[in-house]
């Protein structure tokens, strides 16, 4: 696999990673409510979730969806339900204090944040479609193991890195001060946007 092919995979996936979606939304909200460190661990989970989608694509995800299209429908519905559940939790507890909010969302531990990041990524079938179509057209079937390892590393860096950048931006003192003053409104906006993403996922 040539360097040009690897660069093409990197750039195309980077464009997909930075597109707005549940991952970016959760990275921003976690950083606002709990700080950059916790958002960074969530981002690690988002990167790992993207790698899981990539590995499943390499092992025949697109073929599986063609053979059993109902599986994709079930995945979309399940993902939509999970996103709607997250949206409901954020909306319901928008008026709670920061400490109460942290307890309710169980984001104290690093492992919990990583798991949540993976869950958010896997709940969104958009990466499955990307990796099952565009991604596979860019990766040769005879790509050597070292090239696949490099590609997975690039995917992790793109997804985790971009969401860490988003988290860093929303963790600035002025951003957090604004959030603390308008927590109820901002959380309900985030919850509403997440719910809309879930509904869009279920209906498209």
Q: For position 100, what pLDDT does the model report?
A: 42
Q: How far apart are CA 147 and CA 69, in angstroms?
A: 30
State the Cα–Cα distance between residues 133 and 55, nearest whole angstrom: 13
CA distances to 15, 27, 47, 135, 170 from 162, in Å: 10, 10, 9, 19, 13
Instruction: Give the pLDDT score at 95.
Output: 61
pLDDT value at residue 66: 65
- Give the per-residue pLDDT at 65: 58
* For helices 69-92 and 110-122, angle between their N-to-C axes, nearest 10 degrees: 130
In this structure, what are the phi and psi dihedrals at residue 119, rounded to the nearest 5 degrees? -65, -45
pLDDT < 50 positions in the chain: 99-107
For tokens 């959380």, name the residue: 187
> For the segment 64-95, what is each residue's pLDDT rounded down to a tens digit?
556 666 766 776 677 677 677 777 776 776 56
- For the chain, the residue count is 204
d(CA 147, CA 4): 12
* Residue closest to 35 by CA, chosen among 91, 96, 107: 107
pLDDT value of position 181: 66
Amino acid 107: pLDDT: 46
Would you state the pLDDT for residue 96?
57
Q: How far apart are CA 34 and CA 122, in angstroms?
A: 23
The residues spanned by each domain of the chain are: 3-7+21-203
Alpha-carbon gap, residue 2 to 20, rounded angstroms: 30
């Amino acid at each position: 696999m040539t360097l040009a092919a690897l660069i093409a995979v990197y750039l195309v996936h980077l464009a997909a990673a930075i597109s707005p979606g549940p991952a970016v939304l959760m990275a921003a909200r976690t950083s606002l409510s709990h700080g950059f460190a916790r958002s960074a661990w969530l981002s690690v989970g988002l990167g790992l979730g993207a790698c899981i989608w990539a590995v499943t694509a390499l092992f025949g995800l697109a073929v599986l969806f063609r053979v059993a299209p109902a599986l994709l429908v079930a995945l979309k519905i399940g993902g939509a339900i999970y996103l709607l559940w997250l949206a409901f939790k954020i909306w319901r507890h928008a008026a709670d204090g920061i400490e109460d909010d942290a307890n309710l969302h169980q984001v104290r531990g690093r492992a919990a944040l990583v798991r949540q990041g993976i869950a958010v990524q896997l709940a969104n079938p958009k990466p499955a479609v990307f990796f099952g179509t565009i991604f596979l057209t860019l990766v040769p079937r005879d790509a050597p193991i070292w090239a696949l390892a490099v590609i997975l590393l690039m995917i992790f860096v793109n997804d985790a890195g971009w969401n860490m950048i988003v988290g860093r931006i929303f963790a600035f003192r002025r951003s957090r001060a604004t959030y603390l003053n308008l927590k109820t409104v901002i959380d309900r906006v985030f919850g509403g946007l997440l719910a809309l993403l879930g509904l869009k996922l279920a209906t498209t």
